[in-house]
Chain A
Amino acid sequence: MSGATGDPQWTNPLRDASDKRLPRIAGPCGLVIFGVTGDLSRKKLMPAIYDLANRGLLPPGFALTGFARRDWADQDFSQVVYDAVKQYARTPFRQNVWDRLAEGFRFVSGSFDDDDSFDRLEQTVRDLDRVRGTGGNHAFYLSIPPSAFPVVCKQLARSGLSAQDGDQWRRVVIEKPFGHDLKSARELNAIVNDVFPEDSVFRIDHYLGKETVQNVLAMRFANQLFEPIWNAHYIDQVQITMAEDIGLGGRAGYYDGIGAARDVIQNHLLQLLAFTAMEEPTSFSSNELRGEKIKVLNATKLVGPLDETTACGQYTGGWQGGELVRGLTEEEGFDPNSRTETYAAITCEIETRRWAGVPFYLRSGKRLGRRVTEIAVIFKRAPHLPFDATMTEELGQNAFVIRVQPDEGITMRFGSKVPGSQMEVRDVTMDFGYGTSFTEASPEAYERLILDVLLGEPSLFPVDEEVERSWEILDPVIERWASREDGPDRYPAGSWGPDSANAMLARTDRTWRRP
């Protein structure tokens, strides 16, 4: 089951399909993190590892090795992890759990192009097998800039770290961006697949680890309520939004030249689109899920002409939410003539019988009104209203909204009678929250994903085909925007995007939802 081969006829007598309490603990293994001094490591990875240990899901003797250019000893690294865990962990701190986990921390100081550091890393990993009992199973988390992938992969191959040996697995975990267009994505996949077979590659799109996103499947397929109307007969449009209110100060190195479309639409939003639009799988095995996602992505096309169906923007400085903020070209590290877009909106259509004619609007931006990610399914108006026009003047369209963050849950909007002596109908919004405002109970996305890497469970990780297909969809838009003479349209920080975005929807008599 958990990556163990051996006699295929053998079943574990202590496991039973009806023993639903038994959690899946990873088998003996270790994790090596490259780029361990970065923000992601500190705020997400290290706390997730502690939380997994606290929940009893990590194997006894689990080992965590950091690799970076710092001149640290094991204890210094341990202190760094301790600080990160104390500050960002989700579950309460237990000294006992910490002590056991900390016994498995190691640090290797080195740089990517230095053969000797990788040899030392290989030695450390072998020591861990001997002393901690990690069983020869190791995952390598590459939290590094994409430019470093080729050299790190080469080193992992050269030092023998990537060698799979019988029952022992070696896996690689990579974070987005997965290239910056189709061609570079294919090259990247080729580099990684040279060293690790595809089933040992785990690409992290952390949205897939979120409870709400997994709940889209439960909501759609476990209930009779929604699936019958989940199609073009009843749905008018779908708007998928990822908005942030923060700017890009200090992130020029990563963002300048990348832009909102590559940063978010290529991965998170197209994955959300796939979940919302896919056909029902016949089971929840990873093959089935993956098959359905690829099928729907294959049917997804951009709607043209791109000048009319897309919008790109860049925020300008001003007062936002009580704070004076700078425009993008004034941010530190950004080229004053930068044409990087911080707002991107595109229109897609899915050429299947279920979705023909329903536009999918995907938008993402920085320095927008507030931080929110949601999938809004907006229904057509009722074909005939027995009320006269004045009674329903205020009535809009029914909406079913999946709130991915910050306040996880579902919103339904429907018409209801306004209390009073007249029959007047207006929209009412009902919000259902998961665990209400206490999302402490739902595990963080990274906990789920790291555990799945260690268990070898591939469902929540996009495969190379999905990544390449997503680039295929997006490439024409990026090319078109790059060839614009004036660059992106400007929008004031704190608003909901440039006017061109509103015009984009107004052409089909629609408006953006204000989330």
Chain B
Amino acid sequence: MIVDLPSTTTSAVNKKLVRLREAGGVLALGRVLTLVIITDDGAAIEAAIEAANEASREHPCRVIVVARGHHEAAPRMDAQIRVGGDAGASDVIVLRGYGPLAVESASASMVMPLLLPDAPVVAWWPGEAPLVPSQDAVGQLAQRRITDALSAKNPLEAFEQRRTHHIAGDTDLVWTRLTSWRALLATALDAPPHEEVTAATVVGEEISPSTDLLAGWLAVRLGVTIERATAKTCHGLVSVRLERRSGPVELIRPDGKTGRLRQPGQPDRLVALARREVRDCLTEELRRLDPDEIYEAALGGVGQIVRADTPVAGPSLARS
């Protein structure tokens, strides 16, 4: 069910929520957090809400979408409440601020009265994020701040900002997208021979913060030289090669969908490794709300990687 409340106040929204709850006969709500999504008004909202609804199946929550409208309009706040089937396992409140209510500090004032009592708050910027999320008015309300450098207009610059201004509680989807790669690499090293990794090479597209970040993670964990090379014809993160005495462990994904794990003395093994969708990444991010120290360390490790000057040709799955 969708209820529109044009030109309203948060007090009215709260009253409406209580009345909807009574009318709907839903007396007990198992909510674990409030997710605040900050975005510009427009098409991006629906995609973000859909991802949040999917994530709410695992983490029932209240979702508050703060949509910034036109700055040069008369001050006004429109609200829309979605409950039941239109909202996954959550209740969704979309707040549109116009004029002076479209700026950052006003967003926080709109959100504050609607936060679930005594529950953690997570802030998510699906598109452009502020320079320092932890100093943003809404970011300060949140225990966890999720950004996505890849959705910024200039991903590399956004990634640099994350590195420079990182504070405990920040996280970025470029890190979440790496989880499957990291799990596969860690599992590959679990099995014997238990040898040290002496060097590693990470290859990816020229503009790929995830590739840089994976290299940074390896640099910190392995303490050896990590080379970051560019692949001309491929997209995103393409391959990782860990050098060991008995032979390298490689995970390569030239087509963006299928990974090939290569180890000495073993046949090549294929695994589905497509780029993870935002909804899966968001679900993973909401699972743990404590600061991610490994991510912080990996961000620091990016400064230690060695960038190769010449781009390499993308590897092919066919060649062995």
Contacts and interface: CB of A to CB of B under 8 A. Distances in A.
Interface of A: 1-2, 4-7, 10, 12-16, 18-23, 25-28, 53, 56, 59-61, 94, 96-97, 99-101, 103, 130-133, 135, 167, 409, 430-438, 440-442
12 contacts: A5-B192, A13-B197, A15-B190, A19-B294, A20-B288, A56-B272, A59-B271, A61-B269, A133-B268, A435-B60, A438-B88, A440-B57
A13 B197 CA distance: 9
A28 B186 contact: no
Nearest to A128: B267
A21 B58 CA distance: 15
A447 to B, nearest CB: 14
A157 B294 CA distance: 46
B270 A100 contact: yes
Given A6-B193, A441-B58, A133 B180 contact: no
A228 B293 CA distance: 36
Contact of B271 (A6, A26, A100): A100
A13 B194 contact: no
Contact of A4 (B88, B89, B192, B263): B192
A442 B272 CA distance: 22
A434 B189 CA distance: 36
Nearest to B57: A441
A25 B184 contact: yes
B192 A56 contact: no
A60 B261 contact: yes
Given A18-B294, A130-B267, A435-B58, A100 B183 contact: no
Given A22-B183, A436-B30, A6 B269 contact: no
A15 B184 CA distance: 11
A500 to B, nearest CB: 37
Given A7-B194, A13-B189, A436-B60, A96 B183 contact: no
B192 A14 contact: no
B222 interface: yes
A209 B258 CA distance: 31
B274 interface: yes
B204 interface: no
Interface in B241-286: 257-259, 261, 263, 266-272, 274, 284
Contacts of B30: 409, 432-434, 436
Interface residues of B, number: 46
A132 B288 contact: no
A69 to B, nearest CB: 30
Given A23-B179, A441-B57, A14 B185 contact: yes
Contacts of B258: 96, 100
Contacts of B28: 430-432
Contacts of B57: 435, 438, 440-441
Interface string B216-229: 00000111000000
B182 interface: yes
Given A4-B191, A16-B294, A23-B179, A133 B186 contact: no
B88 to A, nearest CB: 7
Contacts of A59: 187, 269, 271
A4 B184 contact: no
Contacts of B184: 25, 60
Interface in B264-317: 266-272, 274, 284, 287-288, 292-294
Given A21-B284, A60-B261, A130-B267, A28 B191 contact: yes
Contacts of A7: 194
A14 B189 contact: yes
Contacts of A440: 57
A508 to B, nearest CB: 32
A5 to B, nearest CB: 7
B88 A1 contact: no
B257 A13 contact: no
B12 interface: no
A4 B261 contact: no
A56 B294 CA distance: 21
A356 to B, nearest CB: 34
Interface SS of chain A? loop
Interface of B: 27-28, 30, 57-58, 60, 88-89, 176, 179-180, 182-187, 189-194, 197, 221-223, 257-259, 261, 263, 266-272, 274, 284, 287-288, 292-294
Given A18-B293, A23-B183, 9 more contacts: A13-B197, A27-B191, A56-B183, A59-B269, A59-B271, A60-B271, A96-B257, A133-B269, A135-B266
A134 to B, nearest CB: 9
A133 B267 CA distance: 5
Interface centre among A53, A60, A430, A433 (most CB of B within 10 A): A60
Contact of A22 (B186, B192, B261, B269): B186
Contact of A61 (B192, B267, B274): B267
A22 B287 CA distance: 12
A486 B98 CA distance: 80
B270 A103 contact: yes
A2 B187 contact: yes
Contacts of A442: 58
B269 A27 contact: no
A349 B30 CA distance: 34
Nearest to A98: B272
B179 A22 contact: yes
Contact of B272 (A27, A94, A130): A94
Interface centre among B223, B257, B259 (most CB of A within 10 A): B257
Contacts of B223: 13
Contacts of A21: 176, 179, 284, 287-288, 292, 294
A94 B277 CA distance: 13
Nearest to B196: A13
B294 A97 contact: no
Nearest to B263: A133
A448 B222 CA distance: 31
A37 B257 CA distance: 32
Contacts of B60: 435-436
A55 B266 CA distance: 24
Contact of B192 (A19, A23, A167, A441): A167
Contacts of B185: 14
Given A100-B271, A430-B27, A14 B182 contact: yes
Contact of A6 (B88, B180, B194, B294): B194
B117 to A, nearest CB: 17
Contacts of B182: 14, 22
A97 B258 CA distance: 9
B295 to A, nearest CB: 9
Contacts of A1: 190
Contacts of B58: 435, 441-442
A56 B179 CA distance: 10
Contacts of B259: 60
A94 B258 CA distance: 12
A53 B271 CA distance: 9
B221 A13 contact: yes
A435 B89 contact: yes
B191 A96 contact: no
Nearest to B284: A21
Contact of B270 (A56, A60, A130): A60
Given A18-B293, A19-B294, A61 B288 contact: no
